[in-house]
Amino acid sequence: MALDSLRKDETLAMRRRLIGQSCRLFYSDDPVKIVRARGQYLYDETGKRYLDCISNVQHVGHCHPDITKAAAAQMDILNTNSRFLHDNIVLYADRLAATLPKKLGVFYFVNSGSEANDLALRLAQQYTQHEDVIVLDHAYHGHLVSLIDISPYKFRKLAGQKEWVHVAPLPDTYRGTYQEDHPNPGQAYADTVKDLIEDVHRKGRKVAAFFAESLPSVGGQVILPQGYSAKVAEYVRSAGGVFVADEVQTGFGRVGSHFWAFELQGEGFCPDIVTMGKPMGNGHPLACVATTAEIAGSFTANGVEYFNTFGGNPVSCAIGMAVLDVIEKEDLRGNATRVGVHLKNLLTQLKSRHQIIGDVRGVGLFVGIELVTDRNRKIPATKAAAWVVKRLKEEDQICVSTDGPWESVVKFKPPMCFSIKDAELVVQCIDRILSDKETIDLKLENEDI
Ligand code: PMP
């Protein structure tokens, strides 16, 4: 089978003509045309291989044969909607329930992280009969109108902040108000949410939900300080609201030690609603909301049916179960822990040699390095970060990307089969690029901004 039918320049020209230009390409100056993939590798139309450090959707590896087989087998038998009684949806829900605290035992299947968060918002508002939402600064929760409204990362560039949305500071212990040297940053940042709730009440409004990623990713691969989530949950619940953990990027064992990133906050913390997406279907559009029987009960009690044409269909659920099987069979959580620790150690060693690395942070295969032009003043080295991304692609065929409010965090969220050798190669290449005079010059140039 031919892997592509058009020359790269033809594909590009058609894309420019036919596809909305706000749908951006990676490496827009010189996009890569990827025609096949396997494991952690992508191949372009000339057969050139790229090491993929950013596809967190292809969680168990690109085109994993077990996933392909499960999908094809179920497609060959039956694919209908969830109004017909079928085993797969309940068997899959049961498998997911086994990964979550007991109280999160009711599931709604949808097709994208955005749909999951939109439904979480509806559930929270229905259950609490309140309207307002507290979100973290720089957060992104999806592309639907309702979610642009609760995503400072987007609404700041668009319609602005709605009166029912309140933004809490990002609990970033590297560059936020409370840093590593604070005796209890978890409590201090949680108190900023408490203050915000009091503000909301002063305005005569009521909080329906606090929404946060368990590890803020668009915010710059931030690790929440210990104790933060439990305290916030306490404050939000005493105001009558619920805690929504967005695990769209961070769930399914990416952090290695735990299946869900919210578990990093300790056993004393359990969200009221968990949303999941990206890795669930290894690329197949599959997402979900998990919640309590009580919250789900209030949603049922409004008398309105929830129907989702594709959500929870037998093929999606077969794929979802196959993903869970591979995570277990190949011990991908163990791999994420081992490779993640090694990657972080190597990057930390690089930090001692390169002043431009201000911070190295992460858990499992969720890792970021923040580049700064000046370590004391922590000025974001945005241009240098973009330069590193470009050169890794052009010289080493390694795909990484940037995140954070200033796009100064080089991030790693590779498929979970990423190996020790892959980690060593990437760090070696970053070392070479950061040692290069051109990068050092760029760093200085940034300082003039
Ligand atoms: N939540 C988070 C944290 C995300 O990163 C994203 C997607 N980048 C979404 C929600 C929305 O997911 P989707 O693109 O599948 O709608």
**CA 115 to ligand 1: nearest atom:** 16
Predicted pLDDT at 158: 86
Residue 436 confidence class, pLDDT cut points 50, 70, 90: confident
Distance 112 CA to ligand 1 centre (A): 7
User: How does pLDDT run across 298-326, given as a tens digit for each residue?
Assistant: 999 988 999 999 999 999 999 999 999 99
Distance 8 CA to ligand 1 centre (A): 29
Distances 358 to 121, 351, 355, 370 between C-alpha atoms, Å: 36, 7, 7, 6
Q: Which of 195, 194, 207, 291 is nearest to 241 (CA)?
A: 207
Beta bridge partners of 367: 362, 412
Tokens representing 36?
């096949």
Domains along the chain with CATH numbers? 8-60+331-444 (3.90.1150.10), 65-329 (3.40.640.10)
Tokens representing 269?
């913390």
Predicted pLDDT at 444: 60
User: How does pLDDT run across 149-175, given as a tens digit for each residue?
Assistant: 999 999 998 879 999 999 999 999 999
Distance 97 CA to ligand 1 centre (A): 22
Over 80: is that where the pLDDT of 327 sits? yes
**CA 114 to ligand 1: nearest atom:** 16
Residue 448 confidence class, pLDDT cut points 50, 70, 90: very low
Residue 443 confidence class, pLDDT cut points 50, 70, 90: low
Mutate to test the pocket of ligand 1, among 136, 138, 141 (most ligand atoms within 8 A of CB): 141
**CA 285 to ligand 1: nearest atom:** 15
Residue 34 confidence class, pLDDT cut points 50, 70, 90: very high
Residue 2 confidence class, pLDDT cut points 50, 70, 90: confident
User: How does pLDDT run across 19-28, given as a tens digit for each residue?
Assistant: 999 999 999 9
Q: What is the average per-residue pLDDT within 400-414?
A: 96
Distance 136 CA to ligand 1 centre (A): 15
Over the chain, what is the mean pLDDT? 96
Q: Is 438 exposed, middle or buried (0-12, 13-18, 19+ CB in 10 A)?
A: exposed
| Sheet strands side by side (includes 242-246) | 106-110, 287-291, 273-276, 242-246, 207-213, 132-136, 165-168
**CA 287 to ligand 1: nearest atom:** 15
**CA 113 to ligand 1: nearest atom:** 12
What's the number of CA atoms in the CB half-sphere (13 Å) around residue 83? 5
Question: Who lines ligand 1 at CB under 6 A?
Answer: 112-114, 117, 140-143, 213, 217, 246, 248-249, 277
Mutate to test the pocket of ligand 1, among 150, 247, 249, 308 (most ligand atoms within 8 A of CB): 249
Predicted pLDDT at 4: 82
Are 229 and 265 a contacting pair, CB within 8 Å? yes
User: How does pLDDT run across 218-274, given as a tens digit for each residue?
Assistant: 999 999 999 999 999 999 999 999 999 999 999 999 999 999 999 999 999 999 999
Per the document, the length of the chain is 449
End-to-end Cα separation, the chain, in angstroms:
51
Over 90: is that where the pLDDT of 439 sits? no
Distances 257 to 115, 249, 363 between C-alpha atoms, Å: 28, 16, 9
Predicted pLDDT at 276: 98
Are 427 and 346 a contacting pair, CB within 8 Å? yes
Over 60: is that where the pLDDT of 447 sits? no
User: How does pLDDT run across 55-66, given as a tens digit for each residue?
Assistant: 999 999 999 999
Distance 248 CA to ligand 1 centre (A): 6
- What is the percentage of the chain residues whose pLDDT exceeds 70? 98
Number of neighbouring beta carbons within 10 Å of residue 65: 10
Q: Which of 36, 89, 33, 83 is nearest to 62 (CA)?
A: 36
Over 90: is that where the pLDDT of 410 sits? yes
Tokens representing 261?
């990133």
Distance 118 CA to ligand 1 centre (A): 11
Over 60: is that where the pLDDT of 449 sits? no
Q: What is the average per-residue pLDDT within 359-369?
A: 98
**CA 139 to ligand 1: nearest atom:** 3
Q: Is 103 exposed, middle or buried (0-12, 13-18, 19+ CB in 10 A)?
A: middle
Distances 104 to 5, 311, 323 between C-alpha atoms, Å: 47, 19, 20
> The dihedral of CA 151, 156, 157, 162: what is its sign?
positive
**Whose alpha carbon is nearest atom 5 of ligand 1?**
249
Q: Does the reported pTM lie above 0.75?
A: yes
Distance 61 CA to ligand 1 centre (A): 19
